[in-house]
Amino acid sequence: MSWIDRIIPWRLRQAADMAEGGGQPQYIWRPAPAASARREGGTSFPRFQSTAGDHLDPRTADRFAMVRAKLRNAYTPAQPVTDRRMFAGRTKVLTALIRSIEDQRLHTVIYGERGIGKTSLLHVLAQAAADARYLVVYVTCGARSEFDETFRAIAANIPLMYHNAYGPTTLEGERGDTLAQLLPPEPITVRYAVDALAKIEGTRVLVILDEYDRAGSEDFRRSIAELLKSLSDQSVRVQFLIAGVAANLTELVANVPSIQRNIYAMQMPKMTAAEIRSIIKNGEGVAELEFDDAAIHAIIARCIGFPYLASLISHRAALVAVDQNRLNITADDVATATSEAVNEFKDRITRRSQMQIAEQVRKGRLAALGALAGAAQSTGGWFSLEEITAVHADPAGIAEARAAAERLAAERTLIEARDDEFGRAYRFLEPSVPIYLWLLAARGQFFQQEHPEPQSELA
C-alpha cells in the first residue's frame, strides 16, 4: 500500500464525518465527547484521568480524581524516593555514612534486602554530598558490567577542570572536556585507572555503584576491590559508595582481604515503626487524606520494617478508600489492599509454584514458608541457617523453618539446597516466590488475628 492509498480512505472518512456533523470538520483524532456521550450499554469506557503531562482531564476530574493523582507522588512503591521531602527516617544510617565518608575517608558498602531502601538512601546521600560540593557520579551496575566500560562511564562525569594538568582556566576546562577524553582506546587496567584518578584536585569525587549484586563478572568485582584498595593506599580524592544485596558484597570484601581496613560496611536496618509511620504521614500530607490509627498499626505490622511494603500497602489502601469516595483510610482498607497485593504477586509466579504453595498452606506450613521467604529476601538468593535464625525470634519456629527447608529441598519443591565451604544453603527455585510468600504470610497473620478467612483462599 502506497502512502496515497493510506491517505485516501482517511480523507473519505473525514468527508463522511463532516456530512454527519452537519458540515463541521470532525477529525478522526478529535478528543472524545463528554462523558454522557461515551456511555455504551450504561458503562463508560475506561480512560486515563490525567494526561501524559500529568494534567488532569477537566471533563472527568472531581475531588477524588485529584486525590488519586496526588497519591501517585505520595507513595511510589515502584520507584526509589528521590525527593528529600518524601524521604522518611534513616537519620542514623545517613549520619554514620556521612561520617565514614567525610571524617574517615573510607569507601562505604551498604547492603541489605530487596526493597529495604538502599537506592532511595543513595539518592538523598548523593544530594547531600553534592550540596557539600562533592562531584557525585552515580552508576547503576548491570549483569554485564565490566571494569573498562564502568571506568569510562565514571571518567565521562569528571570534568578536566579538576585535573591537575588542566584546571578551570584552560581551554579544555572551560569547554567542559572530561577525563574520558584522555583515555586510550585499549582496555583500562586498574593501575591506569588509579593513576588517572590520582590527578584529580580541587574537589572530592563520590562514585556510587548501585545494584552491585547484579554485576555477574567476577573479574569486574575483583578489579573494583583492587581499585578501592589502591585509591585508599594512595590517598586519592575519590571514594566509592557501593550498594547491593548481601551475598556479593561479602565477596567483594573477601576478594581482597586487606581491603577491609579501607571499607566501612553497613547493613541497612529494617525501618522502625516510627519511620514507617513517617512514610505514611509524608504521603498523607501530599495527598490530603488520613489514615486512622488502626490503619497505621495494620500497615506497620504488615510491612515488617520494609519501606517498599509500607509504600505499596499505603498506596493500595488509599486507593481502596478513594474508590469509595472516602478520604479516611481504615484497617479494613489495609486488609483489602494486602489481599490485592497478594493476588498481584501471585500472578507473577508460575502455576506450578502456586500449586505447590497452596499444598504447603493446606498442610499448615505457611509460617515456616514465611520465615524461609524472609531469609531469602535478606540475601537476595542463597540463604543459610544463620539468615533463618535472624528472621525468626523463637527457637521452635527456627527448627520448623529449617525442617521445612530440608523437606522441600529433598523433594525439589519450591526450594533447592547446596553445601559449600560455608555450610548448607538454600535457595528458592523461582526468584519471585519469596516476596509473594512473605505477603501471604503477613496476610495470613492479619486475617487470623482480625478477619478469620477460610484457609483455602490463602493461596
Span from 29-37, 119-127, 306-314, 429-437 in contact with Mg ion (CB under 5 A) = 119-127
Is position 36 an interface residue for ligand ATP (rule: CB under 6 A)? no
Is position 118 an interface residue for ligand ATP (rule: CB under 6 A)? yes
- CA 453, 438, 286: angle at the middle one, nearest 5? 90
**Helix axes of 293-303 and 433-449: crossing angle, nearest 10 degrees:** 140
- Minimum CB separation of residue 177 from ligand ATP in Å reads 33
Per-residue binding letters, 269-298, with ligand ATP (x by CB under 6 A)? ----------x-------------------
Alpha-carbon distance 407 to 330, whole Å? 40
Applying CB under 6 A, among 77, 216, 269, 397 the residue interacting with ligand ATP is 77
Residue among 247 and 458 whose Cβ is closer to ligand ATP? 247
- Determine the length of the chain: 459
Is position 91 an interface residue for ligand ATP (rule: CB under 6 A)? no
Q: Are 370 and 438 in contact (CB under 8 A)?
A: yes
Contacts of 347 (CB under 8 A, 6+ apart): none
Amino acid at 174: E
Is position 370 an interface residue for ligand ATP (rule: CB under 6 A)? no
Residue nearest to ligand ATP (CB): 117
Alpha-carbon distance 275 to 298, whole Å? 15
- Minimum CB separation of residue 377 from ligand ATP in Å reads 10
Span from 111-119, 155-163, 167-175, 330-338 in contact with Mg ion (CB under 5 A) = 111-119
Alpha-carbon distance 268 to 281, whole Å? 22
Enter the C-alpha cell of residue 60. 472527568
Quickly list H helices, 75-189: 91-102, 118-131, 147-155, 171-175
Kindly report the three-state secondary structure assignment for every residue of 215-240.
Answer: CCCHHHHHHHHHHHHHHHHCCCCEEE
Is position 117 an interface residue for ligand ATP (rule: CB under 6 A)? yes
Is position 88 an interface residue for ligand ATP (rule: CB under 6 A)? yes
Span from 88-96, 192-200, 362-370, 416-424 in contact with ligand ATP (CB under 6 A) = 88-96
SS3 content of the chain, % helix, strand, coil (to 5): 55, 10, 30
Q: Are 130 and 205 in contact (CB under 8 A)?
A: no
Q: Which of the residues 97 through 116 are near ligand ATP (CB under 6 A)?
A: 114-116
Span from 116-124, 277-285, 361-369, 389-397 in contact with Mg ion (CB under 5 A) = 116-124
Enter the C-alpha cell of residue 435. 516476596
- Minimum CB separation of residue 119 from Mg ion in Å reads 3
Is position 119 an interface residue for Mg ion (rule: CB under 5 A)? yes
**If you count DSSP H runs as helices and E runs as strands, how many of each does the chain have, helices first?**
18, 12
**3 state SS of 164:** coil
Alpha-carbon distance 75 to 81, whole Å? 9
Span from 306-314, 319-327, 360-368, 397-405 in contact with ligand ATP (CB under 6 A) = 306-314
Per-residue binding letters, 220-259, with ligand ATP (x by CB under 6 A)? ----------------------------------------
CA-based max dimension of the chain: 84
Applying CB under 6 A, among 145, 232, 239, 311 the residue interacting with ligand ATP is 311
Is position 119 an interface residue for ligand ATP (rule: CB under 6 A)? yes
Q: Give residues in contact with ligand ATP (CB under 6 A).
A: 76-77, 79-81, 86-90, 114-120, 279, 307-308, 311
Q: Give residues in contact with Mg ion (CB under 5 A).
A: 118-119
